[in-house]
Copies of this chain bind each other. A is one copy, B any other.
Amino acid sequence: MAKTTIREVEDLISRLAGFNPDTMYLTDFLLTWEKSDSEIQSVFTVADILRGLRENNISPRVFDSGLGISIFRDNSTRTRFSFASACNLLGLEVQDFDEGKSQVAHGETVRETANMISFMADIIGIRDDMFIGKGNTYMRHVSNAVREGHADGVLEQRPTLVNLQCDIDHPTQSMADALHLIHEFGGIEGLKGKKIAMTWAYSPSYGKPLSVPQGIIGLLTRFGMDVVLAHPKGYEVMSDVEAVAQKNARDGGSFRRTNDMDEAFEGAHIVYPKSWAPYAAMEKRTVLYEQNDQAGIAALEKELLQQNANHKDWECTEERMKKTADGKALYMHCLPADITGVSCAQGEVAASVFDRYRVPLYKEAGFKPYVIAAMMLLSRFNDTPAVLKSLVARDSRRVFIP
A369-B63 contact, Cβ under 8 Å, with A1-B153, A77-B97, A390-B400: no
Q: Looking across the interface, which residue of chain B has its beta carbon closest to that of A362?
A: B154
Residues of B within 8 A of A62 (CB): 399-400
- Confirm or deny: A134 has a beta carbon within 8 angstroms of a beta carbon on chain B: no
Evaluate whether A112 and B336 lie within 8 angstroms (CB atoms) in the complex, with A54-B156, A66-B398, A397-B64 already known.
Answer: yes
Give bound CA distance, A316 to B66, whole Å.
37
Q: Are A88 and B93 in contact, with the CB atoms below 8 A?
A: yes
Chain B hits for A113, CB < 8 A = 77
Chain B positions within 8 Å of A363 at CB level: 153-154
State the CA gap A398–B90 with chains docked (Å).
Answer: 12
- Contacting B at CB under 8 A, from A31-86, are 51, 54-55, 59, 61-67, 77-78, 81-82, 84-85
A interface, over-half SS: mixed
Query: Which chain A residues numbered 364 to 402 have a C-beta less than 8 Å away from chain B?
Result: 365-366, 368-369, 380-381, 383, 386-387, 389-391, 396-400, 402
Checking B61, B63, B112, B383 against A402 with a beta-carbon cut-off of 8 angstroms, the contacting residue is B383
A296-325 to B contact mask, C-beta < 8 Å, 1/0: 000000000000000000000000000000
Q: Which residues of B contact A109 (CB under 8 A)?
A: 336, 343
Tell me if A115 counts as interface (CB < 8 A to partner B): yes
Contacts A/B (CB < 8 Å), 21 sampled: A54-B156, A55-B156, A61-B400, A63-B400, A64-B398, A64-B399, A65-B90, A66-B88, A66-B398, A77-B97, A77-B103, A81-B97, A89-B120, A106-B343, A108-B342, A108-B343, A153-B363, A380-B399, A381-B400, A387-B402, A390-B402
A295 contacts chain B at the CB level, 8 A cutoff: no
In this complex, the member of A117, A149, A362, A365 whose beta carbon has the largest number of chain B beta carbons within 10 angstroms is A362
Complexed CA–CA distance, A350 and B230 (Å): 54
Contacts of A343 in B (CB 8 A): 106, 108-109
Query: Do A398 and B65 have beta carbons less than 8 Å apart?
Result: yes
Contacts of A61 in B (CB 8 A): 64-65, 400
